[in-house]
Amino acid sequence: MGCAILEQKTGPVVFQSRSMKKPIVSRVPTLTITVTLMPMMGFVMQLGSQKYQVKLIKITLSQRPLCSRKTRKSIKYSKITFYLSAALVLVCGCGLNTYKDLDASKIILEKSKYDEYLINRPNGIHGLKGYTPQDSSKAIVLVHGFYPLDWPTKGFEWTKTLKNMTKIQYPVWWFRYDWNDCPEQNSRLLAFALDSLKDNIEGLELVYVIGHSNGGLIVADLAEKWNSNLNLSAHSIASGLNYYRDRLKSCEVQGKEEYVFGENVDYIQWRTSKDVDGIFKNFDYDPQEVKLKNGNFVLLPKEWNGKRLGHNLSIQIVMEELVKKINLF
């Protein structure tokens, strides 16, 4: 996935792939052009039913040689042509599949073959298929985290968990959202989705909402503002609830020191050990540490099943514990 072509009339075509780690340098007789992918800059563009990853490229010109006046005009023309080409050619990925179903049998567990099946779909909630729920008194909603634009396996950390959820007797839903939007926008969207579940699932009494990383921040905001008569069991896993993010500076929800929850909300924060969490270990404080009024937290172990219990693996241990609890009641 991912292709970008920049053209200039006086030099070769420069090809940029998503997997490129180093800049491409194109040398022509009069000019050196350095093209660098900017992995954190870009956006997703949708044309009809197709989505495209649009990435930005940094272009640097150097080693301008001594030459005749005539040649200098040629260099000037070359520079102008190159910049115009860069401005006019969209640097985009090849079309992404947009999935509408969420079938457990289609979830790929092999990372090298994973097709971002969980993420390449419209925003909103998607019901898990491939099994037959036996009891609709409870529902489970799973909320993913934030992904950098160039992250190659978006959603993969949830694949094993979703596969295993077919063993549970209750309906399971996957909440897909735009992580570039403010958390309060996504928590409102999630609240609307839960209202829809309440209206359409007869006998629904309790909904479990489990969010990981940035998804946990959304779940915490949802839980604080919860005013429905539907009982809510809310869970944030490995979430920097006390972490200010520059990208959220214009948002209402940015992370804070204290969270307060209502009576019909059971809120639990599942914290990783900071020094083994690849996201938090280089912070000078633990962004997971907050005050929880009418809520609780669980500190996860540093290892689990012989592996370091890091940021993403925390999903599996928490979900195993929750599935045991949910099936008991």
Model pLDDT for residues 174-227, shown as the tens digit of each residue: 999 999 999 999 999 999 999 999 999 999 999 999 999 999 999 999 999 999
Residues 246, 133: one domain? Answer: yes
Q: What is the CATH classification number for the domain harbouring 119?
A: 3.40.50.1820
Residue 120 above 60 pLDDT?
yes
Residue 24 above 50 pLDDT?
no
Residue 164 above 80 pLDDT?
yes
Residues 202, 128: one domain? Answer: yes
Q: What residues contact 53, with CB distance under 8 A and at least 6 apart? A: 1, 2, 18, 42, 44, 92, 93, 96, 149
Residues 110, 199: one domain? Answer: yes
Q: Read off the DSSP letter of residue 169.
A: S
235 within domain boundaries: yes
Residues 207, 73: one domain? Answer: no
Residues 79, 119: one domain? Answer: no
Residues 57, 183: one domain? Answer: no
239 within domain boundaries: yes
Average pLDDT for 92-98: 49
Give the end of a domain, one of 88, 122, 148. 88
Residues 49, 110: one domain? Answer: no
**Which carries the bigger pLDDT value, residue 220 or residue 20?**
220
117 within domain boundaries: yes
Residue 168 above 60 pLDDT?
yes
Nearest to 107 by CA among 34, 25, 174: 174
Residues 133, 30: one domain? Answer: no
Number of domains in the chain: 2
Residues 67, 153: one domain? Answer: no
Residue type, 5: I
**Per-residue confidence (pLDDT) for residue 26, from 0 to 100:** 44
What is the CB neighbour count within 10 angstroms for residue 137?
13
Residues 65, 120: one domain? Answer: no
In whole angstroms, what is the distance from residue 241 CA to residue 244 CA? 9
99 within domain boundaries: no
Residues 84, 217: one domain? Answer: no
Residues in the chain: 329
With contact defined as beta carbons under 8 Å apart, do 129 and 103 qualify?
Answer: yes
Residue 66 above 70 pLDDT?
no
Residue 18: give the domain boundaries: 3-88
308 within domain boundaries: yes
Residues 41-62 have pLDDT tens digits of 444 544 443 444 454 555 555 5
- Rounded to the nearest integer, the mean pLDDT of the chain is 79
**Per-residue confidence (pLDDT) for residue 329, from 0 to 100:** 53
With contact defined as beta carbons under 8 Å apart, do 255 and 244 qualify?
Answer: yes
In whole angstroms, what is the distance from residue 190 CA to residue 195 CA? 9
Highest mean pLDDT among 60-74, 92-106, 217-231, 238-252: 217-231
93 within domain boundaries: no
**Per-residue confidence (pLDDT) for residue 254, from 0 to 100:** 87
In whole angstroms, what is the distance from residue 12 CA to residue 236 CA? 51
**Which carries the bigger pLDDT value, residue 296 or residue 90?**
296
Q: Read off the DSSP letter of residue 246.
A: G
45 within domain boundaries: yes
**Per-residue confidence (pLDDT) for residue 62, from 0 to 100:** 53
Residue 91 above 90 pLDDT?
no
Residues 141, 252: one domain? Answer: yes
Average pLDDT for 220-235: 96
Give the end of a domain, one of 88, 123, 147. 88
94 within domain boundaries: no
Residue 17 above 70 pLDDT?
no
**Per-residue confidence (pLDDT) for residue 27, from 0 to 100:** 45
